[in-house]
Amino acid sequence: MTVAAPRRVYYRKSLVVPTEHGAWSWLLVPWLVGAVVGLATPLSAPLPILALLLTLVGGLSAYMMRQPATAWVRIRRGRGRKADQPLALGWMLGFGLVALLCLLGLLLLGRSALLGLALPFAVILPAYLVAARRGRAAMRSLWMELAGAVGLALTAAAAYIAVTGQLTTTALALWALLALQNATGVFYVRQRLAGPQEHDANRSLTLWGHVAAFAAVAAAGALAWIPWLAALPFAGFLVRGLWAVRQPRPVANMKRFGFTEVGVELLGGALIALGYLLLL
């Protein structure tokens, strides 16, 4: 009697695909804003489209690397299937290799200014791995979600540098604006998904998080550090945040809620980009 060898598994969705579906917009919308503003800027480095594609693929790979990396850490801590450890390690190294090759390609294209963004990424990824060692609750804490939202917004500066080849104040301002937009999204979504008891516990952070974001961009606009139009979406976020904290507002349809949030992110990003385009 012949015993069939166990079929080797090369892909498991839970080990490869991040579970935070809304985070995709936190990465792609900043990239789009940085690309649009960069392409409209008189400054231009050689092969901007190729450089943009490399930043997109590299950024997605770096983001995707987090899921198998955290799974691998959890398995080593005895919180997952031991048989999945080689699979998680393989995908982690694979995504890391693609991200590294994209970075090398960008350096060959003369985009060495991108190295200025390496430090924030080098801080955020280890923070996720430390949180993974502590368990699922630590991974889903407010501060880890905020760190992820700020880190994903780095693609705004990366896309701008990919086109212009320079790490300018505009690149840093785009990162800051999109990071604040992502952060207000974190506060709002957590508030809407909170139960009645959590609602009251979260409302102060949600309220003051929105107020601080609006105050920061309003002050930057008054000092002419950013276009005034870039502050407009934050006024809308503040109004929406005030509406959310007044009383519990359960989400009736999660899919519709998710698509609405993507639309809000796109609209906010479009207004920020338009503000810069009107200055050119």
Structural domain harbouring 212 = 13-277
Report if residue 128 sits inside a domain.
Answer: yes
Q: Which of 70, 61, 110, 106 is nearest to 88 (CA)?
A: 70
In our burial notation (b when 16+ CB lie closer than 10 A, e otherwise), range 38-59 reads bbebeeebeebeebbebbbebb
Q: How confident is the model at residue 23 (pLDDT cuts 50, 70, 90)?
A: confident
Q: Decide if pLDDT at 5 tops 50.
A: no
Condensed to tens digits (0 to 9), the pLDDT of residues 158-184 reads 999 999 999 999 999 999 999 999 999
Most confident of 43-57, 113-127, 134-148: 43-57
How many distinct structural domains can be found in the chain?
1
Place of tokens 């974190």: 186
Query: What is the pLDDT averaged over residues 67-90?
Result: 79
Report if residue 8 sits inside a domain.
Answer: no
8 Å CB contact between 202 and 254: no
The predicted structure's pLDDT at residue 274: 96
DSSP letter string over 192-259?
A: HH--HHHHHHHHHHHHHHHHHHHHHHHHHHHTTSS-GGGGHHHHHHHHHHHHHHHS----S-HHHHHH
Query: What is the pLDDT averaged over residues 115-126?
Result: 75
8 Å CB contact between 99 and 63: no
Report if residue 3 sits inside a domain.
Answer: no
Q: Which amino acid is at 113?
A: A
Report if residue 1 sits inside a domain.
Answer: no
The predicted structure's pLDDT at residue 128: 65
Residue 258 CB burial class (10 angstroms; 0-12, 13-18, ≥19): middle
Condensed to tens digits (0 to 9), the pLDDT of residues 69-80 reads 888 877 877 777
Q: Helix (H, G, I), strand (E, B), or coil: what is residue 9?
A: coil
Percent of the chain with pLDDT over 70: 88
The predicted structure's pLDDT at residue 263: 93
Condensed to tens digits (0 to 9), the pLDDT of residues 192-246 reads 988 777 777 788 889 999 999 999 999 999 999 999 999 999 999 999 999 999 8
Report if residue 6 sits inside a domain.
Answer: no
DSSP letter string over 100-162?
A: HHHHHHHHHTT-GGGGGGHHHHHHHHHHHHHHHHH-HHHHTSHHHHHHHHHHHTHHHHHHHHH
Q: Helix (H, G, I), strand (E, B), or coil: what is residue 166?
A: coil
Place of tokens 């991108």: 114
Q: How far is the C-alpha of 254 from the C-alpha of 274, rounded, in Å?
A: 30
Report if residue 123 sits inside a domain.
Answer: yes
Report if residue 262 sits inside a domain.
Answer: yes
Q: Which amino acid is at 76?
A: R
Report if residue 165 sits inside a domain.
Answer: yes
Most confident of 149-153, 178-182, 246-250: 178-182
The predicted structure's pLDDT at residue 129: 64
